[in-house]
Amino acid sequence: MSTMTMAKALNAGLRRALADDPKVLLAGEDIGRLGGVFRITEGLQAEFGEDRVIDSPLGEAGIVGTAVGLALRGFRPVVEIQFDGFVYPAFDQIVSQVSRMRFRSHGRLGVPMVVRIPYGGGIGAIEHHSESPEAYFAHTPGLKVVTPSNPLDAYWMIQQAVADDDPVIFFEPKRRYHEKGEVDVEAEPLPLYSARVVTPGTDATLLTYGPMVRTCVQAAVAAAEEGRSLEVVDLRSLSPLDDEAVFASVRRTGRAVVVHEAVGTLGLGAELAARIQQECFYELQAPVLRVTGYDLPYPPSRVEDGYLPDLDRVLDAVDRSLAH
């Protein structure tokens, strides 16, 4: 058991994946000698060589397209998109090639690759550096989409994603990179595509993931001071969703509030609300509510605090839910 940041946990997980399987390769802009803009891959090129930790040209479509070829030849490439807003040049490769290969080949060809995407706001960055595009990929059949919220999950989930025989979009909440937590490298990890109850409760369920897990835990602590018990569920996997865990929590509490940074329209919250309404209708004591980013492009950093869901907005939604 050791204490490390999420950034260090991801680094340790990638190091272990490289050491365990010689077919694992890393590629991306500045990930080698520099170690990436967030230093997630720091030291890995020096340890494993330039043939396995590759500084790529500045071209996301080329990075992902090359990884498709490598995966078809038996390698397990892990490619980094430097920032969330830079993924769009590679969007065609991901949704038209990566996601469809197994279906197109009648199951004969898999694409065992991971696309790492630092995402989300709260770091005071400029345009195209704070977006939350996860719904685009969760909407695409053939892709698996996951996101850790803490160092322990980051360490294990990146290894599990690399070991998967299908493509995984791995979203990393960049404003949580430097938050510390306990990591047990000998523990038995949770299954990759499962949700986790972070804080048990009885009055309402907060369904969330990635950067918003900490915010929702803070909301649960604040609510407890007023005698309210909130259950926080970290989804961890956005596609597939762990319906069983979600429904079980909502049936216990009778209320659900979904929290995410991405815009509300057609976001994960909309899908969760539809599934909960369909499967838990008779247990619901209030409508499913959503606390999300607003339906506009990500704003300048000086006003991002007014855009991102925060403690007050989450607690206001809880109040509205409990009022029913």
> Which residues are part of the catalytic machinery?
129
Residues 162-173: what's their mean pLDDT? 98
d(CA 183, CA 190): 13
Q: How far apart are CA 195 and CA 199, in angstroms?
A: 12
Q: 118 lies in a domain? A: yes
121 within domain boundaries: yes
pLDDT at residue 129, rounded to an integer? 95
pLDDT in tens, 175-209: 999 999 999 999 999 999 999 999 999 999 999 99
Once rounded to an integer, what is the mean pLDDT over residues 238-258? 98
Q: What is the pLDDT of residue 1?
A: 85
Percent share of the chain, pLDDT over 70 = 100
CATH number at residue 115: 3.40.50.970
Contacts of 3 (CB under 8 A, 6+ apart): 180, 181, 182, 183
Residue 190 placed within a domain: no
pLDDT at 244: 98
Q: How many domains is the chain partitioned into structurally?
A: 2
Structural domain range at position 293: 196-322
Query: pLDDT tens, 46-72?
Result: 999 999 999 999 999 999 999 999 999
- Of the three residues 131, 150, 183, the one that is the final residue of a domain is 183
Residues 165 and 57 in one domain: yes
Q: How many CB atoms lie within 10 A of CB 306?
A: 9
pLDDT at residue 289, rounded to an integer: 98
Q: Tell me how far apart the alpha carbons of residues 88 and 258 are, in angstroms, rounded to a whole number.
A: 26
Bigger pLDDT: 132 vs 324: 132
Q: Cα dihedral sign for 175, 314, 156, 59? A: negative
Same-domain check for residues 221 and 174: no
123 and 216 within one domain: no
In this prediction, residue 324 carries a pLDDT of 84
Band (pLDDT 50/70/90 cuts) for residue 130 is: very high
145 lies in the same domain as 94: yes
- Do 173 and 214 touch, CB atoms closer than 8 A? no
Q: How many residues does the chain have?
A: 324
Do residue 44 and residue 96 come from a single domain?
A: yes
Residue 125 pLDDT level (bands cut at 50, 70, 90): very high
